[in-house]
Amino acid sequence: MPPRLQDLPQIQTLLDQPAIAVLTERYSHEETAVALRLIVGALRDALRGGREVVWPDFESMAFAAEVTAKIEAGRAPSLRPVINATGILIHTNLGRARMAPQAVAAMQSVAEAAGNLEFDLSTGKRGSRHSHTERLICELTGAEAAVVVNNCAAAVLLSLMATAGGRSVVASRGELIEIGGSFRLPDVIAQSGATLREVGTTNKTRLSDYADAIEPDTAVLLKSHTSNFRIVGFTAAPARRDLAKLAAERNVILIEDLGSGVLVDLSPFGLRDEPVVADILKDGVDLVMFSGDKLLGGPQAGIIAGRRDVVAQLKAHPLMRALRSDKLTLAALEATLRLYRAPHNPMKEVPVLAMLSEPLASVQDRADKLARELSTIANLDPETEQTAAYVGGGSLPQQDLDSFAVSVALDGMSPDDLMTALRSAATPVIGRIERNRVLLDMRTVQDCETALIVAAFTQISAA
Ligand SMILES: *Cc1c(COP(=O)(O)O)cnc(C)c1O
């Protein structure tokens, strides 16, 4: 007779069995009970749904082993590595930039030992945590001074609070952006205690619009890089240099929220719309802010660079203490920035830039190799196809990167179910669905990760 709902054992009955009771001691009563509820719950759902069930022998060692596996699965780290096969280089939900080995090593060395975070080794007196990255940022951007905070959102908030709190900020209607995660510039300006004075229109803002809006209480002209959308056609915005001149004449400061902010010119790689930080400062912008973990390729951080007197104001602001970076971030950022100095080549050594600049033929080789290995797995029909990859992270919205992907379908499994199975692999694999097939983009996958993808498919196909 097939098993019925009333044949399911009580959780307490199972807990009292010797092989299971051992587990309550080795792990905990709570974890064992949770695992049992999950297993029994799955059986109940299967019975209710009229699906075929493999009825376990609840008193067997095999069942105890199943419970053990469930407990161990529940103990797996929550935050762990995954394989980014989405083709989005800087994927915010997947932790953005993959860091260089030098940055990882720097974090490890200051994590496991004491460090001179705020200690001046030459005088033996208190030092500044800002000193470790400031000189490098200045060297690489031409800024007079720089400071690092938790992220770019914090950088914008702190900059506005310190320079415009209680006064007004002039910004173009075409640049009042939302970054995502409810970071909306007008709200951030309000939070900073400043008043927003909007000028121009969505598509056109002229220098005279800014000039006419400056009042005695105006402290800041704010420019923002419209990094995740583009207005095309009948548009106009004043040149940075002219805005900077206006700001200087009227004794207000010009601040630019760059978002990504690159230190090297990426136009040779077909990416023409990311302004280089040094060029922006050369145009006379007083303060720029950009993220550490977007195209810079380092840890999560917000870098603020510019005029010495303005940066000094930020460093002295009471909010600085709440927004400052920790030693791991500062160590990783310093190590990443060092890769931008000769004899290093950031396009090869900073992983985000290496992914971005990898020749298409090399991406194709990786796709061909993976497809060949996957073709030996039963019921799988891998194919390679040319795709478009994206920088992501709110950068370069319109420009895609040529790429290659391996597309797969598994007999008897929907693309959604295959995506789910790939996410539950030992190392989760995150791809995307296109035309009813699962696509694994190879521009964002490393050579050393393809073996893990093969292992995931082998397991799925055998299940
Ligand atoms: C991404 C972005 C931010 C926010 O940066 P975080 O480092 O995520 O805080 C702010 N402004 C612009 C223009 C951005 O693109």
Q: What is the 3-state secondary structure (H, E, C) of the chain?
A: CCCCHHHCCCHHHHHCCHHHHHHHHHCCHHHHHHHHHHHHHHHHHHHHCCCCCCCCCCCCHHHHHHHHHHHHHHHCCCCCCCEECCCEEECHHHCCCCCCHHHHHHHHHHHCCCCCCCECCCCCCECCCCHHHHHHHHHHHCCCEEEEECCHHHHHHHHHHHHHCCCEEEEEHHHCCECCCCCEHHHHHHHCCCEEEEECCCCECCHHHHHHHCCCCEEEEEEECCCCCCCCCCCECCCHHHHHHHHHHCCCEEEEEEECCECCCCHHHCCCCCCEHHHHHHCCCCEEEEECCCCCCCCCCEEEEECHHHHHHHHHCCCHHHHECCHHHHHHHHHHHHCCCCCCCHHHHCHHHHHHHCCHHHHHHHHHHHHHHHCCCCCECCEEEEEEEEEECCEEEEEEEEEEEEEECECCCCHHHHHHHHHCCCCCEECEEECCEEEEECCCCCHHHHHHHHHHHHHHHHC
pLDDT in tens, 35-68: 999 999 999 999 999 888 889 999 999 999 999 9
Cβ within 8 Å of residue 457, ≥6 positions away: 374, 377, 380, 408, 410
pLDDT in tens, 233-286: 888 899 999 999 999 999 999 999 998 889 999 998 878 778 999 999 999 999
Look at residues 302, 320, 344 and tell me which one is the last residue of a structural domain: 344
pLDDT at 352: 96
Residue 333 domain-assigned? yes
Residue nearest to atom 6 of ligand 1 (CA): 152
Same domain? For 331 and 311 the reply is yes
Token digits for 434?
């296109």
CA distance 420 to 135: 47
Q: How many CB atoms lie within 10 A of CB 18?
A: 8
CA distance 394 to 329: 21
pLDDT at 177: 87
How far, in Å, from the CA of 152 to the mean position of ligand 1? 5
pLDDT at 394: 63
Beta-bridge partner residues of 438: 408, 433
Same domain? For 181 and 234 the reply is yes
CA distance 207 to 235: 13
Same domain? For 455 and 391 the reply is yes
Tokens 């090593």 -> residue: 105
Residue nearest to atom 11 of ligand 1 (CA): 259
* Pocket flag, ligand 1, residue 257 (CB < 6 Å): yes
Cβ within 8 Å of residue 184, ≥6 positions away: 176, 177, 178
CA distance 70 to 31: 9
Average pLDDT over residues 416-433: 96
Same domain? For 249 and 158 the reply is yes
pLDDT at 400: 87
What residue type is assigned to position 350 of the chain? V
* Pocket flag, ligand 1, residue 224 (CB < 6 Å): yes
Look at residues 344, 372, 390 and tell me which one is the last residue of a structural domain: 344
Average pLDDT over residues 208-235: 91
Look at residues 344, 374, 390 and tell me which one is the last residue of a structural domain: 344
Residue 180 domain-assigned? yes
Same domain? For 195 and 296 the reply is yes
Residue 383 domain-assigned? yes
For 315, phi then psi, to 5°, come to: -60, -30
pLDDT in tens, 112-145: 999 999 999 999 999 999 999 999 999 999 999 9
* Pocket flag, ligand 1, residue 261 (CB < 6 Å): no
The answer to whether the CB of 115 falls within 8 A of the CB of 132 is: no
CA distance 346 to 353: 7
The answer to whether the CB of 1 falls within 8 A of the CB of 43 is: no
Residue-range definition of the domain harbouring residue 204? 101-344
Same domain? For 336 and 221 the reply is yes
Same domain? For 414 and 381 the reply is yes
With a cut of 70, say whether residue 451 has pLDDT above it. Answer: yes
pLDDT at 392: 85
pLDDT at 402: 95
Residue 249 domain-assigned? yes
Task: State the pLDDT confidence band at 398, using cuts at 50, 70 and 90.
Answer: low
How far, in Å, from the CA of 423 to the mean position of ligand 1? 28
* Pocket flag, ligand 1, residue 153 (CB < 6 Å): yes
With a cut of 80, say whether residue 355 has pLDDT above it. Answer: yes
Token digits for 175?
């640049």
pTM over 0.85: yes
Read off the CATH number of the domain in which 359 is found: 3.90.1150.110
Cβ within 8 Å of residue 388, ≥6 positions away: 87, 400, 401, 402, 403
The lowest-confidence range among 23-32, 115-124, 173-182 is 173-182
Q: Which ligand 1 atom minimizes the distance to the CA of 291?
A: 7
Average pLDDT over residues 311-330: 97
With a cut of 80, say whether residue 393 has pLDDT above it. Answer: no
Number of folded domains that form the chain: 3
Residue 349 domain-assigned? no
* Nearest of 368, 444, 458 to residue 410 by alpha carbon: 458
CA distance 382 to 389: 19
What residue type is assigned to position 435 of the chain? R
Task: State the pLDDT confidence band at 395, using cuts at 50, 70 and 90.
Answer: low
The answer to whether the CB of 218 falls within 8 A of the CB of 253 is: no
Residue nearest to atom 12 of ligand 1 (CA): 259
With a cut of 90, say whether residue 291 has pLDDT above it. Answer: yes
The answer to whether the CB of 13 falls within 8 A of the CB of 20 is: no
Same domain? For 208 and 288 the reply is yes
Read off the CATH number of the domain in which 232 is found: 3.40.640.10
Same domain? For 215 and 361 the reply is no
Same domain? For 361 and 409 the reply is yes
* Nearest of 20, 23, 24 to residue 59 by alpha carbon: 20
Average pLDDT over residues 76-91: 95
Task: State the pLDDT confidence band at 228, using cuts at 50, 70 and 90.
Answer: confident
Same domain? For 107 and 21 the reply is no
How far, in Å, from the CA of 116 to the mean position of ligand 1? 30
Same domain? For 204 and 293 the reply is yes
pLDDT at 331: 98
CA distance 307 to 53: 70
How far, in Å, from the CA of 290 to the mean position of ligand 1? 7
Residue nearest to atom 10 of ligand 1 (CA): 259
Q: What is the mean pLDDT of the chain?
A: 94
